[in-house]
Amino acid sequence: MIITLKDGSTKEYSEPKSIIEIAADISEGLARMACAGEVNGEVEDLRTVIDKDCNLSILTFNDEGGKAAFRHTTSHIMAQAIKRLYPETKLAIGPSIADGFYYDVDRETPLTSEDLEKIEAEMKKIVKEDLKLERFELPRAEAIAFMKEKEEPYKVELIEDLPEDAVISFYRQGEFTDLCAGPHLMSTKPVKAFKLTSLAGAYWRGSEKNKMLQRIYGTAFTKKAELEEYLHMIEEAKKRDHRKLGKELGLFMMSEDGPGFPFFLPKGMDLKNALMDYWREIHRKAGYVEISTPIILNRRLWDKENMYTTVIDDEDYAIKPMNCPGGVLVYKSEPRSYRDLPLRLAEVGLVHRHEKSGQLHGLMRVRCFNQDDAHIFMTPEQIKDEIKGVANLIDQVYKLFGFKYHVELSTRPEDSMGSDEDWEVATEGLRGALDDLGLDYVVNEGDGAFYGPKIDFHLEDSIGRTWQCGTIQLDFQLPQRFELEYTGADGEKHRPIMIHRVVYGSVERFIGILIEHFAGAFPTWLAPVQVKVLPISDKYADYGKKVLDALHEAGIRAEMDTRSEKIGYKIREAQGQKIPYMLIAGAKEEEAGLVSVRSRFAGDEGQRSLEQFIADIKEEIASRVNRPVTVETKENK
């Protein structure tokens, strides 16, 4: 058999070989680092025996599949430690997840943070024992009997729900055996850098009708330094939590009278409006026209669940969960010619989706949000240029905020609509645009939407977390469903192609990301309060008011601290509110007609005429620069 490796080289064997044996044949070092294998695109256990020609990649912790196997093994080590310490505990499920792993357990006495320390200590013992993981299979009846004997009712239920022809596999390590499909490491020994991070509640199988279990979260890395870096990021993320900062900075609130429905406060609206002013400016320059479509329309326009619905004149209506049909109806409202295309319709539309209460999270997961949609209608020949235009727009926005990003191209899934020819044209249009722009991208085969391929932009914030925000989706199906047409140069009727795209995604979620990215210390152009006027005492309140009026007249968002407090206290308060500039007004300033400038970026900047300060800050706001920090001050720590 011929094994084709990731780099294109081949290995030839006359008899079947397991993936770990092939890895060892390539190099002992690779075998030590191997976590799993990828055979013809499918992630497999290292114990999997290969007996025919295939493409094979040996996955290490640096690969997503390898990372998942490593962390899944850690979840088994944790479960083993729990059973050693608390044998009466019943085990549910314990998968790997994006940043680590978890295990759901059922206990009469809930675990505490002190218990987590004991579990970690026991896990370290299991790692030192270098227990080999052995995979074996059992017929359904034997598998059920095996788990009943172990008094693991959740495992029994899982087995009973498997299809009749399912392979029922287990992994054994020492005295511990778990129902599991794998893949797993060869032994417990490589798992040396791990941390149990938190406890939470979780309904069995995610249903509120079932029993509430306890979920133990953790993470694992191959090196201690990587674990410490990750834990530092988590601590930093806690400090930057947009829910905490949103409350402290007076940006938004939530109410028990509307779970998942955010309230934007005056300062939050200043931030939101600054963001939308920028959005409208760049879209006008890029040739978009803005529309607004109704929030309630006939239910037949959407084929979606989790909608809020109502009945009007005996007909079913829905509060829109997405803007797309509204844009389509605008296109269809009048005859269109090829000369009208591309037609770029932009809409910041308020949409509602019924998210489960347990999934709501500040501004990141809400039930109503503004989506900065645009729907572009075009001819097939215009696909590449329009995609390039959208990609350039997204690039411009993300760079302004200081986000790095990576791009993913998702191709036709198995469950899809449309002809092979349409999909080929669409996919090559997206691929060609990315190639022309010189953007690096990863291809996700079969991960596109059912109606067309898509490009996703994953941005990276200031502490290394990634967020999927921008997306470009090509759609041949909606124009067909709504029978959209344009008259071509040949005088015949043709079907337009449609692009769905967002830049911010959800405006609310993007604001949440920005709060955490900047830790609430926004660039001056975005800051809800750009300048705080601080009179040294009540005696200089009139001069302070004169300064404040001049700032307001110049269109600068400013406030004055009129409290009878010492100036040092006022400065600290303004620093806590992360205000870009403070203007001190006292005797010297009033006599000379000046202001003493203190900034978040450089601390004390000395005295300046009010006119000069206004000219400087207006230029900073107009250019939308993110002024760099040049001096480490209390304001920017």
Catalytic residue numbers, as ranges? 324, 353, 371, 373, 375, 454, 500
CA 323 – CA 295 distance, rounded (Å): 9
Instruction: List Cα–Cα distances, 582 to 506, 530, 531, 534, 543, in angstroms.
Output: 33, 9, 6, 7, 15
Instruction: Please tell me what DSSP assigns to residue 354.
Output: -
CA 503 – CA 389 distance, rounded (Å): 12
Closest CA to 132 of 100, 195, 176: 176
CA 467 – CA 463 distance, rounded (Å): 12
The separation between CA 343 and the C-alpha centre of its own chain, rounded to angstroms, equals 30
CA 25 – CA 259 distance, rounded (Å): 58
The separation between CA 298 and the C-alpha centre of its own chain, rounded to angstroms, equals 32
Per the structure block, which two tokens stand in for 268?
Answer: 């939050």
Q: Which residues contact 604 (CB under 8 A, 6 or more apart)?
A: 596, 597, 598
DSSP calls for 220-240: EESSHHHHHHHHHHHHHHHHT
Alpha helices in 178-311 (DSSP H): 224-239, 242-248, 266-285
387 near 283, Cβ under 8 Å? no
CA 374 – CA 289 distance, rounded (Å): 9
* Backbone phi and psi for residue 282, each to the nearest 5 degrees, phi listed first: -70, -30
Q: Please report the beta strands in 420-492, taking only residues with DSSP state E, as ranges in sequence order.
A: 441-444, 454-460, 466-475, 486-487
Closest CA to 611 of 595, 633, 591, 635: 595
422 near 479, Cβ under 8 Å? no
CA 5 – CA 12 distance, rounded (Å): 11
Closest CA to 205 of 196, 197, 215: 215
Helix 64-85 × helix 113-128 angle, to 10°: 110
